Amino acid sequence: MGGRGLTGAPSPAVPLSADDIAALYDRHARALLTFLTRRTHDPEAALDLMAETFAVAVAQRRRFRGSTDAEAGGWLFGIAHNELSTWYRRGEVERRAMERLRIVHREPTETEYERIVELAGLEDERRRVALRLEELPDDTQLAIRLRVVEERAYPQVAAGLGISEQAARARVSRGLRALGEELERERVGEEHRDG
């Protein structure tokens, strides 16, 4: 590779080169796209976030202080995580602004969309979430379904459950936390088996 080769000792005076970033793309793009698709459940957003991740990597290549591919991969995933956090925060505000400005992103073709879903294992992930949701207590399942699946406001969730809004918020929060922890344990277990 160009700048450092990502094999020897770090050389802070030599930033990652364009060739280094291209090589990182070749090695990590698929894993990044899978990571982002599984978290957004939206292949179009995942493609945008991956492009942003590499744009930031190019802009910040002088800040990278690692010397190995594993360190570079960790650095890229850190950038992707930050981009994902920003995407969640901006959410609806940004989408409305883009609509007002008539900024249009190229949508993936149906074939590209299906391939990304396949690569990310999104169908498997949906089945896994559904199975884990079924394992939660009935009242927690219903709270999550009302809030997340049906996208009802908390006052409506509370009315549907016959509890206070504060109790509804707590039930949804606890349920999502339990669901997330179980899915993360599964994911880590799979990574250890595969690794």
Q: Is residue 31 part of a domain?
A: yes
Give tens-digit pLDDT for 97-138.
Answer: 777 777 766 677 888 877 877 777 667 777 888 888 888 899
Given 70, 88, 113, the domain boundary residue is 113
For residues 4 and 14, the answer to whether their CB atoms sit within 8 Å is yes
Higher pLDDT, 174 or 96: 174
Are 145 and 107 in the same domain? no
CA pair distance 18, 27, nearest whole angstrom: 14
Higher pLDDT, 104 or 153: 153
Query: Could you give the angle at which helices 122-135 and 18-40 cross, rounded to 10 degrees?
Result: 40
Helix (H) or strand (E) holding 166: helix 165-194
Residue with tokens 């459940």: 41
142 in a structural domain:
yes
Q: What is the pLDDT of residues 16-42, one digit of tens each?
A: 777 788 888 888 888 888 888 888 888
Domain that holds residue 45: 18-113
The per-residue pLDDT for 105 is 62
Last residue in a domain, options 82, 113, 144? 113
The pLDDT of residue 158 is above 70: yes
CA distance 56 to 49: 10
Total domain count, the chain: 2
Domain closes at, from 113, 139, 168: 113
- The rounded percent of the chain whose pLDDT value lies above 90 is 7
Q: What is the DSSP string of 122-133?
A: HHHHHHHHHHHH
75 pLDDT above the threshold of 80? yes
Is 12 inside a domain boundary? no
Could you tell me the pLDDT band of residue 162, with boundaries at 50, 70 and 90?
Answer: very high
- CA-to-CA distance for 121 and 33, rounded, in angstroms? 11
Q: What is the pLDDT of residue 144?
A: 86
What does the DSSP assignment read for 23-76?
HHHHHHHHHHHHHHHHHHS-HHHHHHHHHHHHHHHHHTGGG----SHHHHHHHH
Within-domain flag for 3: no
pTM of the model: 0.47
